[in-house]
């Protein structure tokens, strides 16, 4: 049996924190915005550079690297029994505009560090271990998150959707992929170093457009205006109102994009465009809020005499449960290492939301400074990252030995 050595301690399982931090810092230099912010959008030059970097880091620890058609990167450590299902661990390296350097990156480089730690103790997995870097966990460029994992999970119609997808500069997904050389945590600092995720909340996102007549800001009198900007503003407020009306703090809603056209001080907005994110751990309650927002959009358009040009549900995904065996292995790992842990729900989504459709899934969380993510000052301490990698190492060790 290759089970976890009960005598295993933090001393015997050495995680090279210096190397991990160095890699995190190096990867953060591939950014479209200045430090400390990181902006790394799918298939841009910096995304491609980050991919090259990750492949190099995988090779450095002896992983066999391959890529699939959508650019998911796999680093494989062959198990001693070929042909049986493997164990995978990973995350993403794309970053939303003005994000920080840890989101996703710790999951990818941390998994590589876990392999390094396990190799150092002479461990040989029975089941192959794969480190995965998923393509575009963030929805920034084409409005859709978790592209790589959706594709791996054979999510219905994702290929069809991507064929029709264009970015803000009207570049098609296919062109962007070709250009790049082709055809993935938020935890408050509670003092507890390890979070073991038991479920992921259900995300949905919407695109809404209003159109009015616009006109001259001086010449058109108030009673005859149909201001598309104000219709959008009202809808943004109604998102908040409908979310709060669910009565549960687990329901959250954000209008993260709100653009008006033509965007001149002396012009009544002729068009508005909103992108709205709604999440809940309860799928039905989330769906009810989506329905209410739709009803509000129609009501506002009617009352303000503007046209509701778009009401598109971009995605409306169900929640996912972690696999008991994976959670059990992570709990056992934390206990063996003498690390305090808490089981928790992930309110952010991850590629694991989709991997759960094809394999038992689990996630290990580490604390972030003040729970910050998607901000330049996102920060995780090396000490906490090392603890996370230790737990991951022993979890992989256990699962690849079953």
Binding site for Mn ion (CB under 5 A): 103-104
Partner that binds at residue 271, options ligand GLV, Mn ion, none, CB closer than 5 to 8 Å by kind: none
Instruction: Work out how close the CB of 182 gets to ligand GLV at its nearest, in angstroms, rounded to a whole number.
Output: 22
257 binds ligand GLV (CB under 6 A): no
Residues with Cβ within 8 Å of residue 188, at least 6 apart in sequence:
367, 368, 370, 371
65 binds ligand GLV (CB under 6 A): no
Partner that binds at residue 94, options Mn ion, ligand GLV, none, CB closer than 5 to 8 Å by kind: none
Partner that binds at residue 257, options Mn ion, ligand GLV, none, CB closer than 5 to 8 Å by kind: none
Structure tokens given for 72: 């998911």
Distance, in Å, from the CA atom of 112 to the CA atom of 70, rounded to the nearest integer, reads: 21
Task: Pick between residue 192 and residue 348 the one whose CB is nearest to ligand GLV.
Answer: 348
Distance, in Å, from the CA atom of 237 to the CA atom of 132, rounded to the nearest integer, reads: 39
Q: Among 77, 349, 354, 372, which residue interacts with ligand GLV (rule: CB under 6 A)?
A: 349
Instruction: Work out how close the CB of 185 gets to ligand GLV at its nearest, in angstroms, rounded to a whole number.
Output: 9
Instruction: Work out how close the CB of 128 gets to Mn ion at its nearest, in angstroms, rounded to a whole number.
Output: 25
Beta strands in 160-238 (DSSP E): 194-200, 202-211, 215-216
Instruction: Work out how close the CB of 364 gets to ligand GLV at its nearest, in angstroms, rounded to a whole number.
Output: 17
- Angle of helix 105-120 versus helix 382-399 axis, rounded to 10: 60
348 binds ligand GLV (CB under 6 A): yes
Partner that binds at residue 349, options ligand GLV, Mn ion, none, CB closer than 5 to 8 Å by kind: ligand GLV
Answer whether 232's CB lies under 8 Å from 258's CB. yes
Alpha carbon 375 to its chain centroid, in Å, reads 14
8 binds ligand GLV (CB under 6 A): no
Task: Pick between residue 142 and residue 349 the one whose CB is nearest to ligand GLV.
Answer: 349
Answer whether 197's CB lies under 8 Å from 366's CB. no
Give the total of residues touching ligand GLV (CB under 6 A): 3
Alpha carbon 324 to its chain centroid, in Å, reads 22
Helix (H) or strand (E) holding 342: strand 341-346
Q: What is the DSSP letter of 386?
A: H
- Footprint (CB under 6 A) of ligand GLV, residues 324-343: none
Partner that binds at residue 292, options ligand GLV, Mn ion, none, CB closer than 5 to 8 Å by kind: none
378 binds ligand GLV (CB under 6 A): no
Distance, in Å, from the CA atom of 334 to the CA atom of 391, rounded to the nearest integer, reads: 6
Instruction: Work out how close the CB of 143 gets to ligand GLV at its nearest, in angstroms, rounded to a whole number.
Output: 12
Instruction: Work out how close the CB of 138 gets to ligand GLV at its nearest, in angstroms, rounded to a whole number.
Output: 6
- Footprint (CB under 6 A) of ligand GLV, residues 109-168: 138
* Interstrand relation of 194-200 and 341-346 (parallel, antiparallel or unpaired): parallel
Q: Which residue is nearest to ligand GLV (CB)?
A: 348
Instruction: Work out how close the CB of 107 gets to Mn ion at its nearest, in angstroms, rounded to a whole number.
Output: 7
Partner that binds at residue 220, options ligand GLV, Mn ion, none, CB closer than 5 to 8 Å by kind: none
Q: What is the DSSP letter of 371?
A: G
Instruction: Work out how close the CB of 94 gets to Mn ion at its nearest, in angstroms, rounded to a whole number.
Output: 9
Task: Pick between residue 138 and residue 234 the one whose CB is nearest to ligand GLV.
Answer: 138
Specify which residues 172 forms β-bridges with.
Answer: 166
Task: Pick between residue 102 and residue 173 the one whose CB is nearest to Mn ion.
Answer: 102
Structure tokens given for 35: 């430090």
Answer whether 323's CB lies under 8 Å from 360's CB. yes
Long-range contacts of 64-67 (CB under 8 A, 24+ apart): 67/182
Distance, in Å, from the CA atom of 401 to the CA atom of 393, rounded to the nearest integer, reads: 12
Which residues form the interface with ligand GLV (CB under 6 A)? Answer: 138, 348-349
């Amino acid at each position: 049996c290759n089970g976890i050595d009960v005598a295993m301690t933090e001393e015997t399982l050495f995680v090279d924190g210096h190397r991990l931090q160095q890699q995190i810092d190096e990867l953060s230099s591939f950014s479209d915005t200045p430090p400390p912010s990181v902006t790394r959008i799918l298939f841009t030059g910096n995304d491609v550079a980050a991919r090259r970097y990750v492949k190099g880091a995988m090779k450095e620890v002896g992983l066999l690297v391959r890529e699939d058609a959508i650019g998911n990167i796999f680093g494989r450590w062959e198990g001693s029994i070929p042909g049986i299902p493997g164990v995978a661990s990973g995350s993403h390296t794309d970053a939303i505009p003005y994000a920080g350097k840890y989101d996703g990156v710790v999951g990818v480089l941390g998994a590589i560090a876990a392999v390094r730690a396990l190799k150092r103790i002479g461990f040989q997995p029975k089941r192959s271990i794969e480190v995965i870097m998923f393509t575009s966990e963030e929805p920034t460029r084409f409005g859709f998150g978790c592209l790589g994992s959706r594709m791996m999970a054979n999510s219905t119609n994702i290929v069809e959707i991507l064929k029709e997808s264009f970015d803000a500069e009207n570049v098609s997904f296919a062109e962007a992929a070709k250009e790049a050389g082709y055809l993935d945590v938020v935890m408050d600092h509670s003092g507890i170093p390890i979070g073991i995720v038991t479920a992921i909340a259900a995300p949905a996102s919407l695109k809404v457009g209003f159109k009015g007549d616009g006109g001259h800001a001086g010449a058109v009198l108030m009673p005859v205006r149909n201001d598309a900007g104000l219709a959008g503003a009202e809808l943004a407020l109604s998102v908040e109102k409908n979310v709060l009306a669910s009565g549960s703090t687990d329901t959250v809603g954000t209008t993260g994009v709100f653009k008006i056209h033509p965007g001149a001080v002396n012009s009544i907005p002729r068009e508005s465009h909103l992108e709205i994110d709604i999440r809940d751990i309860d799928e039905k309650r989330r769906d009810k809020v989506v329905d209410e927002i739709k009803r509000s959009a129609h009501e506002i358009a009617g009352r303000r005499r503007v046209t509701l040009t778009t009401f598109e549900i971009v995605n409306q995904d169900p929640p996912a449960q972690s696999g008991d065996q994976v959670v059990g292995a992570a709990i056992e790992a934390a206990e063996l290492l003498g690390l305090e842990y808490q089981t928790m729900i992930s309110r952010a989504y991850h590629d694991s939301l989709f991997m759960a459709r094809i394999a038992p899934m689990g996630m290990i969380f580490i604390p972030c400074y003040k729970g910050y993510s998607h901000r330049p000052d996102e920060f995780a301490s090396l000490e906490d990252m090392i603890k996370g990698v230790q737990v991951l190492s022993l979890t992989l060790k256990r699962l690849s030995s079953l």
